[in-house]
Structure 1
């Protein structure tokens, strides 16, 4: 099992439990996440949830690069296992808070994009490595454009691994609603979720649904373009692998004055 769940007093804690892989999501993890959200739909003892990552170094670093996901040879079809890892994709309208400690990047945005609000520790960073590795940031950029100013999304997506969005900046632009001391994001998120779980269930779920309806049409239209953009813009897999291998040999260092990525 790569997902741990525990529930108490109406609040479920969902933990991505692959710290040795920075909680990257493989096919088993993706399936477990989808099954977890679907199960919560029928569990009246769960009235709110928190999703976080184990280990303290990363919330999630997206799709595991070693997860083999064969793609159909058509620009109109993309088999993306991350499209179904979020609560809203599984028709769950109970409130979900994301608690971020450390890195959140790339495919992590599928989860962050479907959380109702984000709580992050002061050492958290957000970045999107797609362009650096020869890939289009399509779904990720659409999800983040629903949560933060367009210019900030553009900068993060286009700068790739050269720059990271720091927790303070994420809070200033409204991506994150609350900052905590390092290691305390999940604890604070559980306290906030307990407040949500204490409210009458039906009005809370109705409010969540209304909030998401406000942006749903625009998001659906934008996501519909993603498969073709990915098919047209991604480099061939072997060239992506070469870029990834080169970056790994270099230690992933790029951007800031100290040789590492610039954090703003």
Structure 2
């Protein structure tokens, strides 16, 4: 087993099994993605393209409270004035965006919300423990859920995605319901998601790498055709529908502290 780490992401490689574990490592910020983490994820995925020791990857988050809670609220990303152009640092944090076709299994404990769907949407499948909850608070805070909605519409029935993104912070999808609707492939006991994901990854890594990676690429090709038109419209929809930053901050500061409904 070899380990390496950057400021925000940890990498552990088991050379015996060919499996790497990528851990989002900002537990104090609920593994929210800041600009440093975005850069380090991009570099890590591209590095794994050249690491022949690794044939499958498990992606998870440090700590017990969250897999990932999307972009860090303290991040400020200047935007062009044109609605046809947009800078979104999360668009390139996933493995597929960085041309990595080694299979990735996500292991979720605690919260996975908002921008976390960029990562889940580019994983082959998701294993979750009993504490996992999934939600998208964009609309609650005056933002359009565009890229997230497109990605989740490829994993969940339309009505389930619509309910999640439109109810925002008021409701969360529990692990059991996530399994029922196909977002999650397996639900484990609390704290056992990584273990279950590792079992899957080891089996996958034991197969011929070329055949496995070709299959991943074929699966993604089927999804790309539906994803591309939605992504193409996203910048304009966000530019038109997002409230000004100050107003978003007001809504975030005034958010209701009542416990969200979990179904």
**If the length of structure 1 is used for normalisation, what is the TM-score?**
0.95
Q: Mark the runs of 5 or more structure 1 residues left unpaired by the alignment.
A: 254-259
- Any idea what SS the aligned residue of 2:53 has? coil
Task: Find the counterpart in structure 1 of residue 8 from structure 2.
Answer: 2
For residues 68-79 of structure 1, what are the structure 2 equivalents within 5 Å? 68-79=76-87
Task: Find the counterpart in structure 1 of residue 67 from structure 2.
Answer: 59
Counterpart CA distance in 1 for 2:184 and 2:93 is: 20
Task: Find the counterpart in structure 2 of residue 107 from structure 1.
Answer: 115
Say whether residues 1:234 and 2:242 are aligned partners: yes
Counterpart CA distance in 2 for 1:113 and 1:132 is: 22
Counterpart CA distance in 2 for 1:231 and 1:19 is: 31
Counterpart CA distance in 1 for 2:36 and 2:105 is: 23
For residues 62-211 of structure 1, what are the structure 2 equivalents within 5 Å? 62-211=70-219
Counterpart CA distance in 1 for 2:64 and 2:57 is: 19
Q: CA RMSD in A?
A: 0.7
Q: Mark the runs of 5 or more structure 2 residues left unpaired by the alignment.
A: 1-6
Task: Find the counterpart in structure 1 of residue 4 from structure 2.
Answer: none
Give 1:135 shift: 0.1
Give 1:77 shift: 1.1
Number of residue pairs the alignment of both structures matches: 255
Runs of 4+ in 1 over 2 A off after TM superposition: none
Counterpart CA distance in 2 for 1:122 and 1:163 is: 17
Task: Find the counterpart in structure 2 of residue 257 from structure 1.
Answer: none
Counterpart CA distance in 2 for 1:177 and 1:261 is: 24
Counterpart CA distance in 2 for 1:25 and 1:187 is: 24
Counterpart CA distance in 1 for 2:176 and 2:217 is: 29
Counterpart CA distance in 1 for 2:83 and 2:223 is: 26
Give 1:171 shift: 0.2
Give 1:226 shift: 0.4
Give 1:78 shift: 1.1
Counterpart CA distance in 1 for 2:94 and 2:261 is: 29
Counterpart CA distance in 2 for 1:51 and 1:20 is: 18
